[in-house]
Structure 1
Amino acid sequence: MKILKFGGKSLANKEGLEKVIQIIAQKYFSNEAVVVVVSARSNATNELIDLLDKAQKGVNYNVELEAFKIYQNNGLSNTIFTDEFSQLDKLLEGVSLLGDFSSRIKDQVIAIGELISAKYLSYLLNEKSIKANFVDARNLIKTDNNFGNAQPLDAISKKNVITFFNNQPEGVNIVTGFIASTVNGETTTLGRNGSNYTASLLANYLDAQEFQNYTHVDGIFTANPELVTNARKIEKLSFNEANELANFGANILHAKTIIPLVEKNIPLRILNTFNPDNQGTLITAEQTDEGIKSLSILNNVSLINLEGRGLLGKTGVDARIFRVMGDNNISVSIISQGSSERGIGIVVETEKATKALIELEKEFENDFYTKDVNRISANDNISVISIIGQDLSTFHKPYTALIKNKIVPILFNNTTTGRNISLVINKTDLKRALNVIHGEIFGVSKKINIAVFGHGLVGGTLINQILNSASAIEKRKKIELNVFAIANSKKIVFNNNGIGDNWKSEIETNGISYEVQDVIKYAIENNLENLIAIDNTASKDFVENYIALIENGFDLVSSNKVANTLSYDFYKTLRSAIDKNQKNYLYETNVGAGLPLIDTIKLLHLSGENITKIKGVFSGSLSYLFNAFSKEKKDFSSVLKEAVDKGYTEPDPREDLCGNDVARKVLILARELDLQNEFEEIKIDNLIPEHLQTISQNEFFERINEFNSVYQNIKENQEPNHVLRYIGELSGDLQKEKGVLEVKLVSVSENSALGQLKGSDSLFEIYTESYGERPIVIQGAGAGASVTARGVFGDILRLAEKN
């Protein structure tokens, strides 16, 4: 014989009921002996409790009661629930008159959900020519009179069950789960999710071959798949592991369900009503491999905090707390305390939190007067995540990941075995915390959620690079890159499941106006973890949002140089915010596009290497301009027009020629060496003749030939075999607070490293004390959207591997 149990969601609607009937029919017509246990349909138990509450408060409940009856009747022409509906009417009317109800009355009301469910399924099966018998478990399972959480009386219950099934009528017996009765026949219930317990007891009493628990999921997963999309099914568990999962809140299991099965070594299989061919999760006595099995959660719990400086060194405080809890039948699921006992936290069911608070205040009344206890408080806005199988030796990994995502556990504790750890967190952080922990410990793809600001040449190229590479990166690195927001200066488009290849048209047709605070709000509301904000703008205004993004859990990657070249005070404030919030800010492309320059300088400086000078060609645009002008017999204006036409410069080339861009890059490197220079202190050689600096762009191009005589004269007055280069240089005593920063046009030997540059390449010479006059040279493509975007992409991947 097999025991089949169907949950409320399996019985909720036409699709589910048809599946349940198919499963039972297949076993029935195969002559397989089965007993079926059912829960109340859908949300019936909660609806009945709501009706009770309304009746108690004197609130009119007729609309809700009628809706309940219509749903449960489910289109039947003649109701088969006359007795149940009549009893419900009388009970609610009585509660309404009295303005109160006892646990005894509550059990009678909520038992109606299971009675209706079993009757309805029996009726449907008989309509399908499958002989079915409605069985009221109150006639079989006897309990004590602890209404709401009654304990079975094994001897009499077992005798009743065996006697009934030895004389059972032909057909499939459909048994009410969850409900039982006292020896005097008063209705009791076995506690929430107690239908599993009913099925487990029947399996034990009848020596069943297997207990098959049909739910709405394919088995037990590494986490709740409704909260963690990439949760994986667990194929096998031992009874011990299942018991841990049940104790720590796994929804599919009831903590008491396991014990009757263990006694008789009866396998438990968790199956999916809607996918019956799936083999589900098998739970047996056989021990499985060690390791983390699953994340389970406890909701509807509260944290009671007892605080008092006067408790320092006092013993017995915890004993008093547990005595109060025991005397009031309040179960403590978690306790955490310091060795000094100056602070103790306990987790209890929310419905009993007020009672716990009142009774503890009574117990410690004298301690309040003596100031030994300062405060006893309750926090209902919590959830508990338990990591089943987590060893303390590796707990730092998920814990660090939580901190990086701005999720700070209120408290945590571990079991005496050291193999399970529970975290108490704010309820609003639950989904995000689960995904962060799951991604860290189960080796599935870690999801990185990216918001891209600015989709011009660099930004647009970056977005396409991410989308084109995402699949390969997930396979190779187990990192899922999810672009959830793309914005320009006016519009933004969101998709928490990821924006696709048609992002340009999405922004045009569906883009909405926004502020950066809207992006932060969207990330919070959608529980997005591992957040990265990408700044591909050149906007000073956008930089003002950096600190808000950091404070709300975003790491930053930027090709925008502005943030690193504003005042030194802002520079330090930004770093302080980064350190305080344990976030990262990467900006390798600020200098040298995709070249590994900033990282090299950081590493040298961190290692204690004394950098004495840095100089080089910082601008790919100006590199092209002077490489071509120095080698070719062309006017300066002709070469400048070529650079503009090829996109090497900005549309108004004066933005490059003024030298400010190079100056910013030099300043960025100076600040990497902890120098406190300001932008205004940089000596800049402006390449634009003064009379051409302030005219309009159109007039500038009309008078561009006026460059020719100036630069032809400079070119002809060089020493032989020399070429012109526009360089940035950082020199002086770099051990002091400030260095000497210069941007200038120089003439160098064509055989030197600078003189041999070609095309739009950049080149940097880093002079150090150890290397003397032989600098470290870094050279390569220093301009171009593709190169810069690839450098930003590199920073994203470095952050992704860190998170």
Structure 2
Amino acid sequence: MKVLKFGGKSLANGKGIKTVVTIIEDKVKQGEKITVVLSARGNTTNELEKILEKARKNESYKAQLEAFKKYQLADFENVQFENEFNTLDKLFEGVSLLGDYSKRIKDQVLSQGEVISAKLVTQLLKAKNINANFTDSRELIVTDEQFGDAQPLDRLSKENILAHFEKHNGNTVNVVTGFIASNAKKETTTLGRNGSNYTASLLANYLEAEELQNFTHVNGIYTANPDLVPEAQKIEKLSFAQANELANFGANILHAKTIIPLLEKNIPLRILNTFDHGNKGTLITSEESEKGIKSLSVLDNVALIHLEGRGLLGKVGIDARIFRTLAQRNISVSIISQGSSERGIGFVVQADQANEAKFILEEEFEADFYKRDVSAITIEDQVAVISIIGQDLSTFHKPYNALIKNQVIPLLFNNTVSGKNVSLVVKKEQLHKALNVIHGEIFEISKKINIAIFGHGLVGGTLIDQILQSAKQIESRKHIKLNVFAVANSKKILLKRNGIDAGWKQEIKDSGEPYAIQDVIAFAKQHHLENLIAIDNTASQSFVSNYIELIDHGFDLVSSNKVANTLEFDFYKDLRTKLKENQKQYLYETNVGAGLPLIDTIKLLHLSGENITRIKGVFSGSLSYLFNTFSVEDRPFSEVLQEAIDSGYTEPDPREDLCGNDVGRKLLILARELDLSNEFDDVQIHNLIPENLREGEASDFLNRIAELDEEYQKVKEAQKPGCVLRYIGDLWGDLSQEKGNLDVKLVSVPATSALGQVKGSDSIFEIYTESYGDQPIVIQGAGAGAAVTARGVFGDILRLAEKGNH
């Protein structure tokens, strides 16, 4: 059985009461076994309290009482509330004569609201041929004699309820009055604050219900007040303990006395919206989630006042003088922070009191100004306070670091004595972004990652499609929401705050606009976009010049473009200095080996202190395919090359592969990962293109590739038996010195060796280390192809996105 509880707003005249009846009817039709607990309708309880107060003061109350009766009857046909109305008439008349009332009388008055509500719903259900049974909880729940806040007598109440439900079961829908009960003398009592919810949880406990469904006017429990935080998210699931922490957000249904009966029997509580039938609400169980639930609140009508001066450090009585001076003018200080190593005190006051506060403090510290103990009292009025309720200071580093990474620098922060609340003062222009960053970092909801993709050719376009196809699954599995807000080529850009969709290619053609990198930065700032990542899928040296500006404006970088890591060593160092200054990351796993985890492996080995002595391998998937095939098949070199071109393994101009520069750049990248200061000029490259074919248009070269056949046939035939050709990169020498030796060359190796056994377009890398000796670490796999490279870039994006998520 499920217990359904409907609150007052759900039962209000019009849409409310009709929707409640429809919900019950639908559940009955679906064969669900349910019990319904009702509050008084609309503002009934408040209305009865107001009338009661008027009667006590001997004020005219009858017009209000008649309006109350009219509301209860509304347009409902054949409803009979004579008994309840007569009871109210007599009670109010008695109170008016006596000029006072007791808690016992008040309970009798207020109880009529629930009785009227339950009788009405019972009759409306019967009109729809539903077997509904009006159930007066005063006949079931027995309490002590503490009127207004009575405590149930557990054994007697349970016996009554079990006996009643044994009699009225099967397909009967018991419509139970919430909030009210009776004592042993059969006098009406009420269960106090949260009473109807308490009734529902007691019934759920005694009947061992499958679930308690609490229907309200909101979709569930939120991580913050949605009016203050537009990005506030409904929490799908939380524990009863965590739910109590969020009771500040109107979730008074989560009072402890409501929760205890459910905890005893481990009965789930689901918060649902009567008016949003499709919403699954918030499920609350005894199961603890990994992270504590927290909430955000904002004060934006404030100002920050700073007192600065050399005499403030360690001087006794400064704080007392500040607070006394402000208190004399009724100026309240909400946050104060004083660093032990700082010569200053900062505190927050209401914005409209800031100027007065400054004026009276300048008067108070006039002598200190003269002695230069106080140098300045300043106001920053464009500020806001963000309070993270339930934030333990021991884990505050995560949201704080996320703010810094997103270039939001708090002006001041402090925490309560309990260590469970943290408050930050930020610039008002950064409030929206700060809330997004904190919210995404501390709650178990999706962390939004805003991505700008530069270059949408084969790799870039494939990457975009992979992101769009995987986004929902990643959000569901990893709580990471990937939002591609910018897609650009060298000429035009498409900017969409809430992300592109499957029609992006046509859209950039139709509505893409010319841009500079500053336009992307300005767009991100205008829309308060957090967790920014710029993706470079170009092969452009000119685009690399934008890296430092992007880093300065809060972007992490991911690149399949090898240029940045192979430019002058001074630029290489400057780029990493800038990354460190801004606490940003630059990932480029696909620079060498496409999707293979090569760079990451080398970084980890080097970081751990492992002495890498040599790195050797087949670096080019294109040339791997070319020589793997040519070595074992009796075909002309030009025929195999043409096949590689047609299969998309090479660049449109295959000379870009054959010249060896690509392999050289990859080898140089690995050298620099070992902190070697080699330049590209240091790489000794065996160019596979004869000198007479190196110049001219690509089309001319493609028409003359047969001229390569004779030379490479000779090379092939000159090998020792059982050997094959491989085009390799080789980093060797004393790699503990400033520079290493870098060779790119065509070699002949035994077909049985690791290099000789490479198939298709696979790449292979042998990493020799001091610890492993002659046995290298071998990394082998697909080393070329748009899909593989794009997947590698995608992996780097997810590594950045997941950083700090655990």
Task: Check whether TM > 0.5.
Answer: yes
Distance 1:353 1:240, change over 3 A: farther
Shift of 1:465: 1.1
Gaps of 5+ in 1: 7-15, 39-121, 133-158, 173-205, 259-269, 282-287
Answer yes or no: is the 8 Å Cα contact 2:659–2:689 preserved in 1.
Answer: yes
Matched residue, 1:229: 231
CA distance in 2, matches of 1:240, 1:786: 44
Matched residue, 1:564: 565
Matched, 1:716 2:728: no
CA distance in 1, matches of 2:782, 2:238: 54
Task: Give the counterpart letter for 1:452 in structure 2.
Answer: I
Task: Give the counterpart letter for 2:633 in structure 1.
Answer: E
Answer yes or no: is the 8 Å Cα contact 1:4–1:37 preserved in 2.
Answer: no
Matched residue, 2:208: none
Answer yes or no: is the 8 Å Cα contact 1:307–1:342 preserved in 2.
Answer: yes
Answer yes or no: is the 8 Å Cα contact 2:222–2:232 preserved in 1.
Answer: no
Listed as ranges, the matches of 1:729-768 within 5 Å are 729-768=730-769
Instruction: From 35, 39, 49, give the equivalent of 2:47.
Output: 35
Shift of 1:365: 1.3
Answer yes or no: is the 8 Å Cα contact 2:246–2:293 preserved in 1.
Answer: no
Shift of 1:33: 4.4
Distance 1:37 1:661, change over 3 A: farther
Shift of 1:35: 3.1
CA distance in 2, matches of 1:682, 1:503: 41
Shift of 1:747: 1.4
Task: Give the counterpart letter for 1:747 in structure 2.
Answer: S
Listed as ranges, the matches of 1:387-426 within 5 Å are 387-426=388-427
Shift of 1:415: 1.1
Distance 1:313 1:562, change over 3 A: same
CA distance in 1, matches of 2:216, 2:359: 39
Residues 363-403 of structure 1 show CA distances to partners (whole Å, capped at 9, x for unaligned) of 11111111111111111121111111222222222222222
Distance 1:552 1:216, change over 3 A: farther
CA distance in 2, matches of 1:570, 1:493: 30
Shift of 1:479: 1.6
Shift of 1:34: 3.4
Shift of 1:341: 6.8
CA distance in 1, matches of 2:735, 2:400: 40
Matched, 1:584 2:580: no
Answer yes or no: is the 8 Å Cα contact 1:228–1:431 preserved in 2.
Answer: no
SS at match of 2:748: strand
Distance 1:273 1:373, change over 3 A: farther
Matched, 1:553 2:565: no
Matched residue, 2:599: 598
Shift of 1:698: 2.0
Gaps of 5+ in 2: 1-6, 20-37, 51-62, 74-98, 114-189, 197-214, 256-270, 283-288
Residues 495-540 of structure 1 show CA distances to partners (whole Å, capped at 9, x for unaligned) of 2222112221221222222222222222222222221111111111
Matched residue, 1:657: 658
Matched residue, 2:96: none
Answer yes or no: is the 8 Å Cα contact 1:516–1:545 preserved in 2.
Answer: yes
CA distance in 1, matches of 2:43, 2:523: 55
Answer yes or no: is the 8 Å Cα contact 1:531–1:553 preserved in 2.
Answer: yes
Answer yes or no: is the 8 Å Cα contact 2:245–2:294 preserved in 1.
Answer: no
Distance 1:298 1:219, change over 3 A: farther
Answer yes or no: is the 8 Å Cα contact 1:245–1:388 preserved in 2.
Answer: no
Listed as ranges, the matches of 1:145-544 within 5 Å are 221-226=222-227, 227-232=229-234, 291-339=292-340, 342-544=343-545
Residues 289-341 of structure 1 show CA distances to partners (whole Å, capped at 9, x for unaligned) of 99444111111111001111222221110111101110111111111112367
Answer yes or no: is the 8 Å Cα contact 1:224–1:296 preserved in 2.
Answer: yes
Residues 144-165 of structure 1 show CA distances to partners (whole Å, capped at 9, x for unaligned) of xxxxxxxxxxxxxxx9999xx9
SS at match of 1:332: coil
SS at match of 1:708: helix
CA distance in 2, matches of 1:322, 1:569: 54
Identical pairs, percent:
63
Distance 1:234 1:789, change over 3 A: closer
CA distance in 2, matches of 1:409, 1:30: 44
CA distance in 1, matches of 2:382, 2:629: 67
CA distance in 1, matches of 2:610, 2:736: 11
Shift of 1:425: 1.3
CA distance in 2, matches of 1:28, 1:673: 74
SS at match of 1:524: helix
SS at match of 1:321: helix
CA distance in 2, matches of 1:604, 1:390: 37
Listed as ranges, the matches of 1:599-614 within 5 Å are 599-614=600-615
CA distance in 2, matches of 1:711, 1:467: 45
Residues 417-459 of structure 1 show CA distances to partners (whole Å, capped at 9, x for unaligned) of 2221111112122222222222222211222221111111111
Matched residue, 1:10: none
CA distance in 1, matches of 2:792, 2:278: 49
CA distance in 1, matches of 2:669, 2:242: 58
Answer yes or no: is the 8 Å Cα contact 1:224–1:231 preserved in 2.
Answer: no
CA RMSD of aligned residues (A): 4.3
Shift of 1:713: 1.7
Answer yes or no: is the 8 Å Cα contact 1:292–1:387 preserved in 2.
Answer: no
Task: Give the counterpart letter for 1:619 in structure 2.
Answer: S
CA distance in 2, matches of 1:663, 1:222: 52
Moved more, 384-393 or 598-607: 384-393
Task: Give the counterpart letter for 1:345 in structure 2.
Answer: G
Matched residue, 2:784: 783
Matched residue, 2:60: none
Task: Give the counterpart letter for 1:336 in structure 2.
Answer: S
CA distance in 2, matches of 1:736, 1:512: 49
Task: Give the counterpart letter for 2:480 in structure 1.
Answer: I
Query: Structure 2 length normalisation: TM-score?
Result: 0.70
Aligned residues: 626
CA distance in 2, matches of 1:633, 1:271: 72
Task: Give the counterpart letter for 1:402 in structure 2.
Answer: L
